[in-house]
Structure 1
Amino acid sequence: MPDELSLQLPPFNGSIVRVSILYAGRMEIPTAMMLQPQIPGHDIVDAPIYSFLVENDKVGKKLMYDLGMMKDWEERQAPPIRNQMQSANVTVDIPSDVVDILKSASVPLSSINSILWSHHHADHTGDPSLFPPTTSIIVGPGFKSNRQTYPGYPDNPDAHTVQDAFEGRDLIELDFDASPLKVCGLRAIDWFEDDSFYILEALGHTSDHIMALARTSEDRFLLLAGDAAHHVGEFRPTPLLPLPEFIRPSPFGAPRSVIACPGSIFEQIHPCSHSHDSGSFRTTPFYEPLSVINSDPATARVTLEALKVFDASPDVLVILAHDPSLRDILEFYPEGDLTGWERQDGQPNSKEAGTWRFLRDFGTKDIQELVKAQQKTE
């Protein structure tokens, strides 16, 4: 990690946004398609599909960050997307998509000013054709000049997007060259121009990938990270956020339980346990992304390094687009929003409760027995 990479969060100027997370289905993806090395017992990535409603009451604007997957993707998506999903043996389940959820909460689609795509992949772009022409689409740099993204299918047989998403509406391509701002080394745009919501250039997974940094209180933020990583084991633990000696709450208990489990039990399944430096299991991520899932692996690494710095801050809650470890911790729309994620009320807040929750993915029988034995001694 470069020594000069540090996090200075933007100053507060009186504005915040309200962010709600929508649960828009799930996928099951073979771990071997995305991550290395293979950790015994974690053969399938359970990948919920998240979308986010961002509301700035001060300026009277609403936007969606990602739309998940369209329900009829098998009929309407471009052939390369259908073939890719089927050949990868990906299982998709979408009982209610984003539009269903918004309508059930009596949110007029006309009230959504913009749809911000983290990137052009089908499990993020949803079905913008269901929104009125007044809803614009915001995309990352180079989108319009990339034959793979624009125009869409069927007008462009090579496209991985669908043409009716763009028809009759503004398609806004972000220009990071026009903004002098940077956050954690990533170029940034102050979207509402009030320091409440920053769009970050976070390339590598695709050539148009972006993240969003949303201020939910004076000094607390959510990082909507899209597919900057596909499993939090790609950026935890690190020297900035080491695996603790005792993990509280235990990843195998209730989300905010006081029960702990020893961090040392995960050494046996950590890739470092087979190296000459086995002690680094507390500061080395469990996973590396496979190069094939990123269009530019070197640039994706730069984005991932920035993600580690954001993640180490107690003031930033990082949410990947498909992170199952937060599913039983966060309150989903329309029941609630994420604005008070940092509240504690005598219990671990959402970040504290969720940081090591991903370790239950590695809950083999041997590890479960070690946890039970430890709990009996407490």
Structure 2
Amino acid sequence: MASPKTLAEPKPPVPLNIPSGKAVKVSCIDTTSRIKLPTQTILIPYIADHKYYQCPAFSFLIEHESGKKLLFDLGIRKDWENMSPFSVWRVKSRDFTVGVTKNCSDILVENDVSLDSINAIIWSHHHWDHQGCPKLFPPSTDLVVGPGFKGAYTPGWPIEKDSSLREDDWEGRNFWEVDFTKKPFKLGRFEAYDYFGDGSFYLLHTPGHTIGHLCGLARTTSNPDSFVFMGGDACHHGAEFRPSAWLPLPAEMTPHQLKTLSFPCPGSDFLDIHPQKDASKPFYTPAPGFSHDHDTAVWTIEGLEEFDGHDNVLLGIAHDATFLGQLDMFPKTMNDWKEKGDKGKVLWRFLEDFNVKPS
């Protein structure tokens, strides 16, 4: 029987088995990257006039108590037409609109973060809207990628003319793959790597979208614990992982949850447009052919749903437009997200992309 506040009965959260640990500072960087593309390029089925998908491409800054700093993804490089010729061709040959005014490195320097202080750049995966421009960082900055990355995606251009990457992105720097077999353990269903060895920041092996795709899990507070989950492109839109068995569709939407609709707004109005008419299943699934391995990509998204089902986990995928205007962005940190109720602010805002008029 459904809860009076939801259209289905929520399942109890799945144990994630996250050990205790320290916290890191986390900031979400609006890289100024903006992308517009046909929704059905990446998501199916077609729903409620959601013809185009418009989104940012975030980077995350992780600051450890030791002084070490990491960047998780870089967004789009400002001179994106200087990406590898193959990547430029892919963008220009599709119905994509791309805009970016600053490199991630520009934003850091403008806010007094020295590029010399960045110990590593972590690429969630190799796609053009996450690469940024690593060569703008000093050789002391490592480039970190997931298992199988080098065998699948290197060498880069110009050695391999059809590569989506450039050799100079890693020339002269430590370029290494995460080894999840050295101290094997899992958080939720995913293989995990404790980056600093103190439980403050984990890399998760989340394959499917690409070979070796990585997500990040940063502890933002300890005792009580809260976390920011950096989803990369494990999925691309909130409707791919919400609603879920753990977060069913609400019985009623409030102005706090949706900014652009009139109220009251029954959740059943959105259930009416749901392809499966199921308040416990996401609206979208990845488009066939968009992922390296479709079935594994779906398995990974189901794992994200399990994390999202915990109220102390804020799930932030790289292209989550719902964060804009709602959550604190760099140079502010987002460590107080739970105290401020930020998850409730963004949880259902993706529904505004659907052309639904309240009944």
Structural RMSD (CA): 2.0
Matching residue of 1:332: 329
Alignment match of 2:80 (pick from 59, 73, 76): 73
Q: Secondary structure at the match of 2:211?
A: coil
The TM-score, its normalising length taken from structure 2, stands at 0.92
Moved segments of 4+, more than 4 Å: none
Alignment match of 2:179 (pick from 175, 191, 200): 175
Report if aligned partners of 2:260, 2:352 keep a CA contact under 8 Å in 1: no
Gapped regions of structure 2 (runs ≥ 5): 1-10
Distance in 1, matches of 2:345 and 2:255, equals 6
1:269 CA displacement: 1.7
Matching residue of 1:297: 294
The TM-score, its normalising length taken from structure 1, stands at 0.88
Matching residue of 2:189: 185
Q: Secondary structure at the match of 2:217?
A: strand
Matching residue of 1:89: 95
Distance in 2, matches of 1:358 and 1:154, equals 40
Distance in 2, matches of 1:267 and 1:212, equals 32
Matching residue of 1:275: none
Report if aligned partners of 1:110, 1:131 keep a CA contact under 8 Å in 2: yes
Q: Deviations over 1:78-119 (max 9, x none)?
A: 222112112221111101220110111011100000000000
Distance in 2, matches of 1:96 and 1:7, equals 40
Distance in 2, matches of 1:315 and 1:79, equals 43
Alignment match of 2:44 (pick from 15, 29, 36): 36
Matching residue of 2:282: 285
Q: Deviations over 1:314-353 (max 9, x none)?
A: 010000100111212111112x111110013xxxx11111
Report if aligned partners of 2:258, 2:348 keep a CA contact under 8 Å in 1: no
Distance in 1, matches of 2:260 and 2:344, equals 13
Matching residue of 1:129: 135
Matching residue of 2:320: 323
Q: Does 1:145 align with 2:151?
A: yes
Q: Percent identity?
A: 41
Distance in 1, matches of 2:322 and 2:74, equals 20
AA aligned to 2:143 is: I
Q: Does 1:238 align with 2:244?
A: yes
Distance in 2, matches of 1:318 and 1:17, equals 16
Report if aligned partners of 1:30, 1:44 keep a CA contact under 8 Å in 2: yes
1:250 CA displacement: 4.8
Structure number with higher helix proportion:
1
Distance in 1, matches of 2:208 and 2:353, equals 26
Name which structure has the greater RCO, CA cutoff 8 Å, separation 6+. 2
Gapped regions of structure 1 (runs ≥ 5): 273-277, 371-378
Report if aligned partners of 1:118, 1:139 keep a CA contact under 8 Å in 2: yes
Distance in 1, matches of 2:103 and 2:58, equals 10
The total of aligned residue pairs comes to 346
Report if aligned partners of 1:29, 1:47 keep a CA contact under 8 Å in 2: no
Matching residue of 2:71: 64
Q: Does 1:165 align with 2:169?
A: yes
Matching residue of 2:305: 308
1:12 CA displacement: 2.0
Distance 1:195 1:271, change over 3 A: same
Q: Does 1:360 align with 2:340?
A: no
1:224 CA displacement: 0.1
